[in-house]
Amino acid sequence: MAGEVPVKALLFASYADAYGSTEVPLLLVAGSTVGDAVAAVRAKVPTAIPARPLVALNERYAKYDEHLSPGDEIALIPPVAGG
Amino acid sequence: MRAALVTRSSDVAALIAEATDHSCGAVSVFLGTVRNVHEGKAVTGIEYQAYDAMAVRELQAILGRAHERFETGHIVVEHRLGFLGLGEVSVAIVAAHPHRQRAMDATRYAIEEIKKTVPIWKLEHYADGTREWVDPTRASIVIEPSPVAEVVG
């Protein structure tokens, strides 16, 4: 449908465990931002994901006010713990 | 420079050979290993997971910044994924330079940056059968020793 923005949201670690999957397909309205996508994911698992988690857009850290395009991949990044 | 995620043990001797040439008078190696305790709980192993494509991109960006800061392109990093037992190497960083200070600074910089920005997570497995995702942003639980009453004889 025109005006809708399909986006794929990726979850990892504790966020993925809480949701029960590593991928959340989203259908957002035109003009939606990274922040809107985070809010849409959080609506599904509100207690497991903090209000403003780190987020990546197409494999780069992103700001919440960046606009989304159809086919974008966002990732909610739990606190990293490499090393 | 090379950054990679790997699912088998890193061959440290091979990494040293890869990072070094005859212009280098110093080689610095940092190895992160799986420790047997975390916040007082006995650990039996750690499972590492990554957002692979972004993690490699971030690792490469760190090596790029290290190259600029410490003037060495002789730097290699491998981060292991999957389940690792106690003592296994989770991350190997090798930096070489004509002089020791910059070789050591480059490895130190790389590991500190990896811990800040690279999307890798670890699920600790404990001896009591529980598991927990490690959250370095959470305040550590400080276990205070119990006050000992003075015994007056």
Give the tens place of pLDDT for each residue, B82-125: 999 999 999 999 999 999 999 999 999 999 999 999 999 999 99
In the structure, what pLDDT confidence band is assigned to residue B153 with cuts at 50, 70 and 90?
very low
Q: Which residues of B touch A72 (CB under 8 A)?
A: none
pLDDT per residue as tens digits for the range B57-67: 999 999 999 99
Whether the ipTM is more than 0.95: the answer is no
Residue B71 in this model has a pLDDT that exceeds 80: yes
Nearest by CB to A83, which of B115, B133, B135?
B115
Inform me whether the pLDDT recorded for A40 exceeds 80: yes
Specify the pLDDT at position A81.
Answer: 96
- At B34, the pLDDT band (50, 70, 90 cuts) reads very high
Mark out the alpha helices in chain B (DSSP H runs). 12-19, 52-70, 100-117
Residue B64 has a pLDDT of: 97
**Looking at the predicted structure, is the pLDDT value of residue B150 above 80?**
no
Give me B105's structure tokens: 């600074």
Distance from CA of B148 to the nearest CA of A (A): 37
pLDDT at A67 over 60: yes
Q: Name the average pLDDT for chain B.
A: 92
* Cβ-Cβ contacts under 8 Å, A78 against chain B: 121, 133, 135
Average pLDDT over residues B11-28: 97
- Burial of residue A3 (CB within 10 Å: 0-12, 13-18, 19+) is exposed
Which residue carries 């966020």 as its tokens?
Answer: A15
% of residues, chain B, pLDDT over 90:
86
The answer to whether B66 and B112 have CB atoms below 8 angstroms apart is no
Predicted pLDDT of residue B152: 46
Contacts of A12 in chain B (CB under 8 A): 49, 51, 119, 121
State the count of interchain CB pairs (< 8 A) between A and B. Answer: 70
Closest CB to A80 among B53, B91, B117: B117
Residue A30 has pLDDT above 90, yes or no: yes
Residues 40-69 of A with CB under 8 A from B: 56, 59-61
What whole-number distance in Å separates Cα of residue B76 and Cα of residue B114?
13
Q: Measuring CA to CA, how many Å separate B56 from each of A80, B85, B95, B120?
A: 14, 23, 18, 10
| Alpha-carbon span B81 to B47, nearest angstrom | 7
CB-based contacts of B142, cutoff 8 Å, min separation 6: none
Min Cα–Cα distance to chain A from B39, Å: 15
* Res A46: pLDDT: 73
**Matching residue, tokens 């490469």:** B60
Here the tokens at position A52 are: 């403003």
Q: What are B134-145's pLDDT values in tens digits?
A: 999 885 444 344
What is the spatial distance between Cα B103 and Cα B108, in angstroms, rounded to a whole number? Answer: 9
First to last CA, chain A: 45
Residue type, B119: P
